[in-house]
Structure 1
Amino acid sequence: MRILLSILLVLLFVPDWSGEPRLPLLPDAAAFRVEQVVLDRRDPARTKLGGLTYLGGVELHGPGPAFGGFSAMMVEGERFTLLSDGGNIVSFVMGGDWTPRAVRFAALPAGPGRGWHKRERDSESLTRDPATGQLWVGFERANEIWRYAPGFAAAQAHSAPPAMVKWSSNGGAEAMVRLRDGRFVVLAEDRRGSVKGTVRGLAFNSDPVKAPRHGFTFSYRPSRGFKPTDMAELPDGRIAILNRRFAVSSAFTAALTLVPRAAIRPGAVVTGREIARFESPVRHDNFEALAVVREGRDTILWIASDDNQWPAQRSLLLKFRLDI
């Protein structure tokens, strides 16, 4: 009788409890360590990779199982914000000495459902308006886009764009970018586009939360066998797209492609130009996050990996200069 009463109390007072543990949260103690990594273990001095130059990188080692799973990223100067696919946020400052400082752990203040299960907080994409500081997060499974106040202080509004309704539960808004002209571009992970070998893309004329019906569809063709995981606008207006492939023989590999912004038009089939491929012998993993910044005249690309909270994978944060 006592056991039965305990179960009834849990069902009554714990939201959405279904006998499964809640998504793990980050601990109160804000700390983690990094370990510097080379691009190619066989040739530690190597820095060139296609149209990129490797400037260094680290593997992140965090406290507990909630650390990792990074699917989206934002970089502002030396301030990094990493968003996991479980709604956890890790932010820190890191300069040329590769030492994290001013570390903060947090969680999205709201999102689809109550955040009890991964299917409710499968946050996969992130973009920002530098003028207002507002942030947008794309959620798989729910196929929704949420807008947050600067610093993720609060959720402001959200929408379920009609064009995303039929996207699969595991292939939703995987990549999203707010362009400098105020438009938004979203790529599905596996919603097929108009022709074989492509995925569905959406372009919104403005904030997709405020005007989810105003825009058009197109198709994006990644490198063969790859699917898009993130994208960012370059200073010259081109769009860099990070793509991922999984195979039993090689595990996760990645390809970086560039797309002219003008190529994204209603009904277009947009093919990315591959400029770098991450496969053996260079370091490769489940790369899912991409951010672009300027350092003087250089265009810098930061790439991060989602370790899926799995010991065989790594949380990597790598820095490259774009040379083309």
Structure 2
Amino acid sequence: MCLLAGVHARMPVARRGRLPQGLSVRFLTCALLFVLFVPDWSGPARITLLGPDPAFTVEPVALDPAHPARKRVGDLVYLGGVQLRSDDPQFGGFSSLAIAGDRFTLLSDSGDIVRFVLDRRWKVHDRTYAELPDGPGTGWEKRDRDSESMSVDRHTGAIWVGFENSNALWRYDPTFTRAQAHVVPPVMKNWPENKGPEAMTLLPGGGMVSIAEQTPWPGRKGRAGVVFSGDPTRHPRAGFRFDYVPPKGYSPSDMTVLPDGRWLILNRGFAWFRFSNVLTIVDPAQVRRGATVHGSDIATLASPLTHDNFEGVTATQEGRATMLWLVSDDNQLPVQRSLLLKFRLDPVARGDRN
């Protein structure tokens, strides 16, 4: 940066409108550097956050580091997990994930896309990196690409992303290279900044559901939820409101639909400088216009178990078994981790949970 403040007070009087000798050279040099290195803010380009090849490694993690043989937590059986590590300081911040077979897509809250193949031995292959091709704002600041939720249309392959700061929903093509449509639904327009559509998922019968992270409807308790009966970009006013009441001390951070149609909501808490998460199942039959909805808590990830800022959840099916995958947002801080964990949904009698 060229620090020109105070130069005018010290510079001698120029003759015939010319800059004093020496200063003119510095001025022209600064002007040239400005043109070369200060980007054009009027265009759609955005600052690259990930390097050209932010290679990462994976290291296995146990559910309970003190008791590695432990596999069960509530209604879940732990099948394995890894910590993702990279020397690139911008790697991480993962807030949502999508899985198709052995192909994984992780989306960060800065709009970075990390794709890879994960085999049954927890080995990573075919890493690729990209950025959201478009989104709210100019993309110059992280808040413009605060992409907190993602869901894939199983019929068209289109990818939906929820942006928390702008309370916007964007639809991208199946290759994540082009934005197809976007909307700021009127029902979500006044949700506070940084408390918007943290949880969002497409519904099997069509439509979408989104839940605000910390915002209730006026005069209501719980968190603001909205169900769209179709594509919000075509019918932004369609649907209805409801209230979701998370476990005490928690807020919804993501959601997905289980193979049987029930909703699984990932709730996050932060207390005593530690994160924890509660997984809750909601029967969609309870979700009606104006309803206050409580779910059934099925598992809690908290100390001494492996825990972090889990913000992404998705469900897959292997045979008749339902698998749940969680990814954590490390906020790109050295004291946190990017974790990818896998569980099998295996309900037990309430008295047998531990």
> CA 1:194–1:276 in structure 2 vs 1: closer, same or farther (change >3 Å)?
farther
Change (3 A) 1:109 1:281: same
* Counterpart residue number, 2:294: 271
CA positional deviation for 1:7: 7.2
RMSD between superposed Cα atoms in Å = 1.8
In structure 1, the residue matched to 2:338 is 315
1:250 Cα shift? 4.6
Which position in structure 1 is the counterpart of 2:71? Answer: 47
Q: Which residue does the alignment assign to 1:137?
A: 161
| Residue 287 (structure 2) pairs with residue 261 (structure 1) | no
Partners of 1:25 and 1:282 lie apart in 2 by 32
The total of aligned residue pairs comes to: 319
| Partners of 2:115 and 2:294 in 1: CA distance | 34
1:65-84 map, 5 Å: 65-84=89-108
Q: What SS is found at the alignment partner of 1:276? A: strand
Indicate how the Cα distance of structure 1 residues 272 and 6 shifts in structure 2: closer, same or farther if over 3 A, else same.
Answer: farther
In the TM superposition, what are the counterparts of 1:1-324 in structure 2 within 5 Å?
A: 1-2=27-28, 5=31, 9=35, 13-15=39-41, 24-29=48-53, 31-193=55-217, 197-247=221-271, 249-324=272-347
Do the aligned partners of residues 149 and 228 (structure 1) sit closer, same or farther apart at CA in structure 2, a change above 3 Å counting?
Answer: same
Identify the residue that residue 350 of structure 2 maps to in structure 1. none
Deviations 1:23-50 (A, max 9, x none): 5522222521000000001111000000
Q: Which amino acid aligns with 1:259?
A: V
| Paired residues of 1:32 and 1:61 also in contact (CA < 8 A) | yes
CA deviation after TM superposition for structure 1 residue 194, in Å: 5.8
Counting strand residues as a fraction of each chain, which structure ranks higher? Answer: 1
| Gap runs ≥5 in structure 1 | none
Q: What do residues 167-212 of structure 1 show as CA deviations (whole Å, max 9, x unaligned)?
A: 1111111011101100200010011146665110010001112211
- 1:283 and 1:250 map into 2 onto residues whose CA distance is 15
Equivalent pair of 1:23/1:86 in contact (CA under 8 Å): no
Distance of 1:311 and 1:286 partners within structure 2: 13
SS of 2:144 mapped into structure 1: coil
Structure 1 range deviating more: 192-201 or 252-261: 192-201
Amino acid corresponding to residue 321 of structure 1 in structure 2: R
Deviation digits for residues 99-147 of structure 1 (CA, Å, limit 9, x no counterpart): 1111110100000112110111000010111111001100011111100
Q: Which has the larger radius of gyration?
A: 2
CA–CA distance in structure 2, aligned partners of residues 275 and 12 of structure 1: 51
1:60-106 Cα distance to aligned partner (Å, 9 max, x none)? 01241221000011011111100000000001110211011111101
SS in 1 for 2:281: strand
Give the Cα separation in 2 of the matches to 1:193 and 1:123.
Answer: 23
Please tell me whether the aligned partners of residues 194 and 200 of structure 1 are also in contact (alpha carbons under 8 angstroms). no
Partner SS, residue 103 of structure 1: strand
Name the TM-score, length of structure 2 as normaliser.
0.86
Q: Secondary structure at the match of 1:284?
A: coil
Partner Cα distance (1:52, 1:196) in 2: 32
* CA distance 1:153–1:194, change in 2 (3 Å): same
The 2-side partners of 1:212 and 1:126 are apart by 18
Q: Report SS of the residue matched to 1:120.
A: helix
Summarize the Cα distance change of 1:163–1:7 in structure 2 as closer, same or farther, 3 Å threshold. farther
Confirm or deny: 8 A CA contact 1:27 1:63 kept in the other structure.
no
Letter in 2 for 1:156: Q
CA distance in structure 1 between the partners assigned to 2:246 and 2:219 by the alignment? 12
The amino acid of 1:96's aligned partner reads R
Q: Secondary structure at the match of 1:161?
A: coil
8 A contact 2:54–2:91 mirrored in 1: no
Q: Sequence identity of aligned pairs in percent? A: 49
* 2: CA distance, partners of 1:319 / 1:13: 42
C-alpha separation in 2, matches of 1:254 and 1:71: 14
Q: Which residue of 1 aligns with 2:12?
A: none
CA distance in 1, matches of 2:312, 2:48: 21
Please state whether the residue corresponding to 2:35 is helix, strand or coil. Answer: helix
Instruction: Measure the CA separation in 2 of the matches of 1:174 and 1:199.
Output: 11
Shift of 1:316: 0.1
